[in-house]
Structure 1
Amino acid sequence: MKTSLQVLCKIMLLVATFMLFSHTATAYTTIESGDTVVIDEVIDDDVIVAGGTVIIDGTINGDVIVAGGMVEINGNIEEDLIVAAGDVQINGRVGDDLRVASGTLAIYGEVQDDVISFAGETVLADTGYIGGDFSAGSGEITISGHVGGNVKASAEEITIHGNIGGDAELNAEEINISPDASISGNLEYRSKSETKIEEGVVGNNVHYSEMESHKDGGIVSSLISGLISYLGLVLIGLIGLAIWPEYMENIAAKTSESPGMAFLTGLLVLIVAGILTILLFVTIIGIPLGLILLTTLFVMLYVARIIASIWIGRHLLSKMGKSTKTMNEMAFGLLVLLLASAIPVIGGLIYLAATLIPLGNIYMTARN
């Protein structure tokens, strides 16, 4: 297996594993969601927060899970931080691990242990500090600060100006290593062409291999697409569980009650909604209503998959003798659902059932 593919697989596995099983605390302080959520106090507990904009200026003596459009950490988080957001900026301090799925990630402050990032752009500024290992999959990665451990990164472009205390494994079409950079261990990199590396920048051995993008580009693209789909649904699920926890759990519990009736109801809802949308788009005056109906339908389809994932995760984990929180059941069930849907022919049927059964239950619950 090619090196870049190995890194992507490791990143996918690490992100999925940490998001699934790293938080089994029995109590959380759930912060109400909203357009803007600001935490400027000391909280001696684990925290879950969702909002359009989330700003943490205070101190949280526990783990933190955040879902939002923009997340800014200016205060102190003493334990782990998990973020699924559009833009993430770390100006303060994270006392343990940081795991991020976002459009952009910028670290200006400190992360005392490992960082796992899957983002469109990842930046470790010159003031940024990572005490442990740094694993990243991004479109563009810039390391200007200090990484105490190893670096494993895969991107279209990687630029290093800072210091890496361990080994570096880099995979990108373009790799730039500044003469001011420092890599204490070994450097193993793969790109389209060799990179000019000044003497003394790398402490030990340097190994280069040529990238043959035309051979594995399709596989890499599929992995990235699948991971983006998974993380996007996890984000929707975290927001949904933060806003309507009891409602989503109640709908999930009904999945096994009358699955046949729920499936037919969901199919009927989908067909009727599709016909109504087409009819509304035919007339100019009905276009706004058609857009609203179409948007609502897409949202309900995504929510239905999240609900199915809760049921799948809870059912499978209970069979394994594990008891965990709803968000972990959702993330695990979602991973299983996406993997099952990749099976030829039968996978499509599984995904269809996992969508229509909850959709039918949502409609029947709303009607009653």
Structure 2
Amino acid sequence: MSIKTLIAAVGLAAALQAGAAAQFIGGDVTLHGIDRDDDLVIAAGDVSLSGRIGGDLRGFGGDFTVNADVGQDVRLVGGSITFEGTVAGDVEMAAGNIEFNANVGGDADLAGGFVNVRGRIEGETAVGAGAIEFGRDFVGAGRVEAGGEEITFQGTSLGSVEFHASEVIIDGRIEGDLETRARELILRDGAVVTGRIHHRGPNPPEIRSAAVVSGEVEHEIARFDSDWEDFHDLDLDLDFAPIGPIISVGFIASAFLLGILACMIAPRGTARIAREFRDRPLVSGMIGLVLFAFSPVILVTLIVLLCITLIGIPLAGFVAVLYFPLLFLAYAFGAMAVGDLIFNRRGKPAGLGLRALSMLVVLIAAAAMGVVPLLGVTAGLILMCIGLGAWVMALGKKDPQPVETAV
């Protein structure tokens, strides 16, 4: 089975899990001049994208460079994000570095280490970052909230503004009230605030001579600490849809690769596991369930016995570390055994291609069941118990020898 087939199959799993119309998964994804009416979901290391997307844009990856017109919502998680264009719906982004310059019809929620915001946002704007800059091209039609170590505001807000930071610098126009909780509040010469200013902090606000403030200026003396308690009122609504599908894709890919590796290293051993389940499916499942139920007790007992001796202490740590990987391997074995039973009707020794394809189909089906509450967990538990029981039953057994016929 080729790598392209594997990627397509894993993408199918994500599509089933997310209900998405399309999936692009890979190390680097480049989509220039794209023109589509449905959703676009991407999971990749580096993403370069331009064009039109009629539905949602959702992505999880390393670096995003996007210049696109999106007809609905945008939800991106990455190492760094550079976004230009238009968004008709809401925007939710989280990254180490965000450069955002787009016109947004809904709300915008941005979180990162450094965030630079430009463009017009019709809804509410909420930003949480270490350093935040609202550029001169920024226009916030709704409420603007931000929390970070340093905030510089050079744009225009048509509504009220609330900033929480160690240092807040205003060098733009606020056509509403300004509420700050900061150690330092500075209104530079180009600042304009048409409403009142309510500042909470240890130091009074510094208002330069050329700054214009139409309303009252209130200073409430309060201690300021650079911890999360000073930002608890910040309303960041980050609900990233790609996380669930990406976790499912990673889980499927990990189990699949682990199962394939086991089939390549020990082809006879994995064949015996599949044969044991084929011969006694109920017995293998029940044995696996019992072993899994008592596995914590067995694990603790074994660790205690090993810790009695000085030599056994390193082995105890090794056994503890192997517990969850072994259960995960049993899950892969369960998918392999069920796939062999379904697709290998004759029961003859299966080749690596058939073994891999059948196992992948079962893993995808089990992940797709996750759209129904508890069904996906139940399916995964059944596969793990089947694999664990068949694995134990196959230990120590040899392949049947062919019967010699007398001449």
TM-score by length of 2: 0.53
1:118 aligns with 2:111: yes
Q: Match of 2:215?
A: none
1:29 aligns with 2:14: no
1:92 aligns with 2:122: no
Instruction: Choose the corresponding residue for 1:183, options 158, 174, 189.
Output: 174
Aligned length: 267
Cα distance in 2 for residues equivalent to 1:129 and 1:362: 56
Aligned-residue offset at 1:105: 1.3
Aligned-residue offset at 1:194: 3.6
**Structure 1: which amino acid aligns with 2:25?**
S
Aligned-residue offset at 1:267: 8.5
**Structure 1: which amino acid aligns with 2:183?**
K
Contact 1:166 1:184 in 2 (8 A): yes
* Richer in helix (by share): 1
Matching of residues 333-348 of structure 1 within 5 Å: none
Alpha-carbon distance change, 271 to 84 in structure 1, aligned in 2, over 3 angstroms: farther
Cα distance in 2 for residues equivalent to 1:62 and 1:271: 55
1:212 aligns with 2:219: no
Q: Match of 2:36?
A: 43
User: Once the two structures are superposed, what CA deviation does each residue of 1:83-110 show, in whole Å capped at 9, x if it has no partner?
Assistant: 1111111122222110112212111232
Alpha-carbon distance change, 37 to 209 in structure 1, aligned in 2, over 3 angstroms: same
Cα distance in 2 for residues equivalent to 1:90 and 1:60: 14
Cα distance in 1 for residues equivalent to 2:164 and 2:382: 41
2:165 is paired with a residue of what secondary structure?
A: strand
Contact 2:110 2:126 in 1 (8 A): yes
Instruction: Choose the corresponding residue for 2:123, options 132, 142, 149.
Output: 132
Aligned-residue offset at 1:47: 2.3
Alpha-carbon distance change, 194 to 223 in structure 1, aligned in 2, over 3 angstroms: closer
Unaligned 5+ runs, structure 1: 1-24, 249-256, 283-289, 301-308, 319-325, 331-356
Cα distance in 2 for residues equivalent to 1:108 and 1:137: 17
Aligned-residue offset at 1:172: 0.3
RMSD over aligned Cα, in angstroms? 4.9
Cα distance in 2 for residues equivalent to 1:49 and 1:110: 22
2:248 is paired with a residue of what secondary structure?
A: helix
Cα distance in 2 for residues equivalent to 1:366 and 1:177: 68
Instruction: Choose the corresponding residue for 1:239, options 223, 233, 246.
Output: 246
Q: Select between 182-191 and 50-59 the one with higher mean Cα deviation.
A: 50-59
Contact 1:266 1:361 in 2 (8 A): no
Q: Match of 2:65?
A: 72
Alpha-carbon distance change, 269 to 137 in structure 1, aligned in 2, over 3 angstroms: farther
2:96 is paired with a residue of what secondary structure?
A: strand
Cα distance in 1 for residues equivalent to 2:386 and 2:185: 56
1:28 is paired with a residue of what secondary structure?
A: coil
Aligned-residue offset at 1:361: 6.3
Contact 1:267 1:360 in 2 (8 A): no
Cα distance in 2 for residues equivalent to 1:153 and 1:146: 14
Contact 2:35 2:52 in 1 (8 A): yes
Cα distance in 2 for residues equivalent to 1:99 and 1:310: 26
Aligned-residue offset at 1:315: 3.7
1:79 is paired with a residue of what secondary structure?
A: coil
- Percent identical residues: 23
Aligned-residue offset at 1:365: 9.7
Contact 2:68 2:85 in 1 (8 A): yes
TM-score by length of 1: 0.58
